[in-house]
Amino acid sequence: MRFARSERALHWLLAGTFASLLVSGWLRASLAFGPVWHKGSAVAMVAGIVLIFARGRRRRVLRASAADFAFGPEDRRWLQTAPMHVLGRAPAPAAGRFNAGQKVHARILAVALPLALASGIAGLLGVPGGGLHGVIAYASAALIGSHVFMAVVNPATRHSMHGMVCGTVRREWAGHHHALWLAGGSAIVCDAESRPAESGASAGFDRTEPMLAQQGW
């Protein structure tokens, strides 16, 4: 399994509201409705998270997240090998459902986003610590920018976007980038006939190649 509907919904909620927060934060001083837009985006983020967890299978998501983002020996090996792989001097390091870089990224954001929210509230109330809000926001933006590059621009990894949009990835891609996840037996293989008709045409995928799918919330 790659991504359930609830996981994809949470991802796109955070992506959309963070982008809205970032843009409204830049423009809040130059637009009359900028402050309202900024605060509304923060409310939408928090309310959306609550709604998704209430609507989705929150226990499964939490259990899966705890397991997927736990660090193990394979993650330490990944961190040691990845720089040499980028330089073309080593094969791609084996990874589970998420590699160590993705785990570090997720952990940093899991701390940064609540801190950004808390520092924003502190700034509104005039409490010390509100000045950190901008620093946290820009640091988070840089981190998310690297994530967008890997998901959209980098040819080797941008197929992951299909997994986050449709819940499926190619078996070949999964075997190369997430071999331990594929070998673990948690991936559901869907044949070409079971896929949405538009998925191959829109992303240029081989319709005869099995896909790895995630079903349900």
Q: Residues 6 or more apart from 9 whose CB is under 8 A from it? A: 52, 56
Domain residues of the chain, as ranges?
5-160, 161-217
**For residue range 13-27, what is the model confidence (pLDDT) as tens digits?**
999 999 999 999 999
Task: Identify the top-confidence range among 10-24, 128-142, 173-187.
Answer: 10-24
**For residue range 192-203, what is the model confidence (pLDDT) as tens digits?**
433 433 333 333
The residue among 103, 111, 106 whose CA lies nearest residue 136 is 111
Exposed/middle/buried for residue 166 (C-beta within 10 Å: 0-12, 13-18, 19+):
buried
Asked if residue 137 has pLDDT above 80, the reply is yes
**Mean pLDDT over each residue of the chain, to the nearest integer:** 82
Alpha-carbon torsion (198, 201, 204, 209), positive or negative: positive
- Tell me the percentage of the chain whose pLDDT exceeds 90: 53
Q: Residues 6 or more apart from 121 whose CB is under 8 A from it? A: 127
Question: Considering the domain 5-160, what is its CATH architecture?
Answer: Up-down Bundle (1.20)
Compute the C-alpha angle 88/155/149, nearest 5°: 100
Helix (H, G, I), strand (E, B) or coil at 189: strand
The residue among 211, 92, 109, 99 whose CA lies nearest residue 162 is 211
